[in-house]
Amino acid sequence: MSAESTQSAEAEELQVSEAQIAVHWKEESHYYPPPQFIGQANASDPSIRDRFSEDKFPECFKEYADLLTWDQYWHTTLDTSNPPFWRWFVGGKLNASFNCVDRHVRTRPNQAALIFVPEPEDEETQAITYRELYRRVNETAAMLRDYAGLKAGDRVTLHMPMVPELPVVMLACARLGVIHSQVFAGFSGAACGGRISDSQSSVLITMDGYYRSGTLLDHKVKADEAVARAKEEGHEVDKVLVYRRHPGQYASQTPMVEGRDVFVDEIMPQFRDKLVDPVSLPAEAPLFIMYSSGTTGRPKGCQHSIGGYLAYVTGTSKYYQDIHPEDTYWCAADIGWITGHSYIVYGPLSLGTTSVVYEGVPTYPDPGRPWRIAERLGVNIFHTAPTTIRMLRKVGPTEPKKYDYHFKHMTTVGEPIEPDVWRWYYEVVGKGEAVIVDTWWQTENGGFLCSTLPGLEPMKPGSAGPGVLGIYPVIYDENGEEVPKGSGRAGNICIRNPWPGIFQTIWGDPDRFVQTYYEKYNKDPKSTDWHDWPYFANDGATQAPDGYYRILGRVDDVINVAGHRLGTKELESAAILVDEVAEAAAVPVVDELRGRAVEMYISLKPGVAATPEVEEKVAKIIETEIGKVARPKNVWIVPDMPKTRSGKIMRRVIAGISNFTDVGDITTLANPEVVEEIRVHVHEVKQAKGEVAKLSEKEAEEIKAFGQAE
């Protein structure tokens, strides 16, 4: 063998072994949907699979588009002339607010559209009928147009908690064609400010405070920080509209800024009973931007369209959430995340159902709270994330038994669910009566990508299921070779085809859009055939012989904490803002409740002493720059980071140390000796704190793969 071919054989072997990490777990058995569910399911006829088979693509999505009311019907289902900037339902015109509100006012004016459950249990629940929602959305749209001066195409940043004003504002924006960018309220003012300047929003809409674990938090203070941060980045905010959690009573310590800030409850009376015609907009006009953390640099503003997005979330809400107008549906996610946009607001309201909005912490004031809400409101569809399920199981394993509620359907989303936790969800929360869908998807995707069809396909604990209707997944290895179907071997999951819910671009950065999601597996950059443009999800997965996908987690360096995606680069950039810090590296650590938590490794500038104060400063700055969710479980000050000879920090090695797993081959490091020193210190402290994790094989594989994409 020539030296060259030996080398490439070695390279190939190395790549194959990285991409196709063998993952061993017990194959779980199937659970079949209860007959009473099948009888009433929206998707109960198996021919639905044929209607969405690949030979019917893209026309199959007409079925989703036809769930909407169009002002002008579209002429082209999918335009692929400028890949991968797909255009769906071209020629069509519609309004999202009309579809979620007006059309139901005609058919069911007095049915509740939203039910708001405040966190304090003694505060009244508010049922907002479709007629009342119509009135509020119109008045708010009039205020946004006539007071704030907003018009179609403008961006506005929302930093709102889980209160009904949030969906009202979103729908008011949609009515005008104003592009909303809602930032999760738990995020810091600084994080919000970065998103304001990136989206160039001239208006910020916020609330003075909201309840979290029994405390009325000061939230307005973050608005001042956000505006200051945006200004540092060269962007001015003209107006800050401040809702008050209790109208007339100001809950914040920070003064209102003259000429900039205004209390919404003081100006709204001017707009009483005002009606605003929904603006008829092209299907491809943007509906909203939702920021998501990525591998490098700033968060990415995922831009979603009106027509494609709304059709996709409506269709998937109907068939996968099994929503009927007469259901009472509760998705306990936050509207500040894509799950809330798609499956609290747009999908459920487009179908004309009743959607519950809960303000607070699920375990407040006690772990029976969610089940009391379900019992009292007659919730029959429940949707949450594994992290919440784990927490509820830990603090109240038998609570659900005490309450008389009955779910027909439950969802899990956001991170992989352990089969054991799945079974508790099924048996105890669902009382063995509810079907479960494990839905895999991302901010970028608009709606579900993998899930079982609840009335037709059996469930399997820990597996998301097959691609959903009209989605054709594939698993590729690092070289772009398809990993054999059903082989159980791991690789990178991709979607071979475009779909209506896919985001249109990264706001302001189309090159990054192409590079992050399409470059890796693109077959021909000049091709206008969608077959040449698989979507790279950046998640690892395996496919079992039954065709079900099991998602293994991120292959890039994103850490999924309780379902929140945190970019390692963002965490690290925050840490090095601390004066004493020279270098920082963020790694995931397996955490019983949150799935993953963040651990930071830092090295200090010469002459700086390692003190607990520095550790605290790092933890604190991550909270202020990113948010409390990101607060590291531990900050480790190390003499030096383990590095390759080219100077790259080996995150895989420190991730191994943090998780008590194999650190892998360290012989190629520039400084292999530090590894043992770090290990001894970290393990000693962790043992003393009782933080010794026992990882499953799957978790160990994920940790091993961490940082390898760099």
Residue 415 binding ligand WTA, by CB under 6 A: yes
Residue 441 binding ligand WTA, by CB under 6 A: yes
Q: Which of 292, 303, 497, 603 is close enough to bind ligand WTA by CB under 6 A? A: 292
- For ligand WTA (CB under 6 A), the number of binding residues is 21
Q: Which of 135, 229, 235, 565 is close enough to bind ligand WTA by CB under 6 A? A: 565
Residue 551 binding ligand WTA, by CB under 6 A: yes
Residue 553 binding ligand WTA, by CB under 6 A: yes
Q: Which of 408, 554, 617, 686 is close enough to bind ligand WTA by CB under 6 A? A: 554
For ligand WTA, the closer CB: 500 or 553: 553
Choices 304-312, 360-368, 408-416, 420-428 (CB under 6 A): range interacting with ligand WTA: 408-416
Give residue for tokens 């006829």: 45
| Residue 538 host element (H or E) | strand 535-543
Q: Per CB under 6 A, which of residues 314..353 are in contact with ligand WTA?
A: 337-339
For ligand WTA, the closer CB: 41 or 333: 333
Residue 439 binding ligand WTA, by CB under 6 A: yes
Choices 359-367, 407-415, 471-479, 693-701 (CB under 6 A): range interacting with ligand WTA: 407-415
Task: Mark 241-280 with x for binding to ligand WTA (rule: CB under 6 A) and - for no binding.
Answer: ----------------------------------------
Give residue for tokens 């475009």: 498
Residue 539 binding ligand WTA, by CB under 6 A: yes
Choices 411-419, 426-434, 471-479, 661-669 (CB under 6 A): range interacting with ligand WTA: 411-419
Residue 138 binding ligand WTA, by CB under 6 A: no
For ligand WTA, the closer CB: 360 or 567: 567
Q: Which of 440, 530, 533, 536 is close enough to bind ligand WTA by CB under 6 A? A: 440
d(CA 180, CA 150) in angstroms, rounded, equals: 11
d(CA 413, CA 450) in angstroms, rounded, equals: 11
d(CA 708, CA 187) in angstroms, rounded, equals: 28
Q: Are 171 and 99 in contact (CB under 8 A)?
A: no
Choices 115-123, 317-325, 437-445, 702-710 (CB under 6 A): range interacting with ligand WTA: 437-445
Helix axis angle, 165-176 to 130-146, nearest 10°: 60
Q: Which of 202, 316, 560, 603 is close enough to bind ligand WTA by CB under 6 A? A: 560
For ligand WTA, the closer CB: 629 or 663: 629
Residue 299 binding ligand WTA, by CB under 6 A: no
Cα 466–350–148 angle (5° rounding)? Answer: 125
d(CA 88, CA 499) in angstroms, rounded, equals: 8
CB of 373 to ligand WTA, least distance (A): 22
Residue 588 binding ligand WTA, by CB under 6 A: no
d(CA 225, CA 192) in angstroms, rounded, equals: 9
For ligand WTA, the closer CB: 671 or 708: 708
* Residues contacting residue 179 through CB under 8 Å, at least 6 positions apart: 153, 154, 155, 156, 173, 199, 286, 287, 288, 289, 303
Choices 45-53, 414-422, 590-598, 671-679 (CB under 6 A): range interacting with ligand WTA: 414-422
Do you know the residue count of the chain?
A: 710
Q: Which of 19, 204, 332, 413 is close enough to bind ligand WTA by CB under 6 A? A: 413
Nearest-CA neighbor of 136 among 181, 169, 176?
169
CB of 7 to ligand WTA, least distance (A): 34
For ligand WTA, the closer CB: 64 or 337: 337
d(CA 303, CA 502) in angstroms, rounded, equals: 9
Q: Which of 353, 443, 505, 542 is close enough to bind ligand WTA by CB under 6 A? A: 443
Choices 172-180, 184-192, 389-397, 438-446 (CB under 6 A): range interacting with ligand WTA: 438-446
In whole angstroms, how far apart are CA 284 and each of 69, 491, 495, 503? 15, 33, 21, 11
For ligand WTA, the closer CB: 339 or 504: 339
Give residue for tokens 């706001």: 507
Residue 174 binding ligand WTA, by CB under 6 A: no
Task: Mark 449-488 with x for binding to ligand WTA (rule: CB under 6 A) and - for no binding.
Answer: ---------------x------------------------
Residue 516 binding ligand WTA, by CB under 6 A: no
Residue 98 Cα to chain centre, angstroms: 26
Choices 12-20, 369-377, 434-442, 594-602 (CB under 6 A): range interacting with ligand WTA: 434-442
Nearest-CA neighbor of 604 among 637, 571, 632, 575?
637
Q: Per CB under 6 A, which of residues 26..45 are in contact with ligand WTA?
A: none
Q: Residue 595's beta-bridge partner residues?
A: 561, 591
Amino acid at 239: K
* Residues contacting residue 572 through CB under 8 Å, at least 6 positions apart: 584, 585, 586, 600
267: exposed, middle or buried (C-beta count within 10 Å: 0-12, 13-18, 19+)?
A: middle
The values of phi and psi at residue 129, to 5°, are -75, 170
Residue 562 binding ligand WTA, by CB under 6 A: no
Is residue 393 left, alpha or beta, with left meaning phi > 0 and alpha meaning psi from -120 to 50?
alpha
Residue 438 binding ligand WTA, by CB under 6 A: yes
Choices 58-66, 409-417, 594-602, 635-643 (CB under 6 A): range interacting with ligand WTA: 409-417
d(CA 703, CA 597) in angstroms, rounded, equals: 12
Gyration radius from the chain CA atoms: 25
Q: Which of 92, 186, 340, 416 is close enough to bind ligand WTA by CB under 6 A? A: 416
d(CA 496, CA 504) in angstroms, rounded, equals: 16
d(CA 46, CA 673) in angstroms, rounded, equals: 61
Contacts with ligand WTA by CB under 6 A lie at 292, 337-339, 413-416, 438-443, 464, 539, 551, 553-554, 560, 565
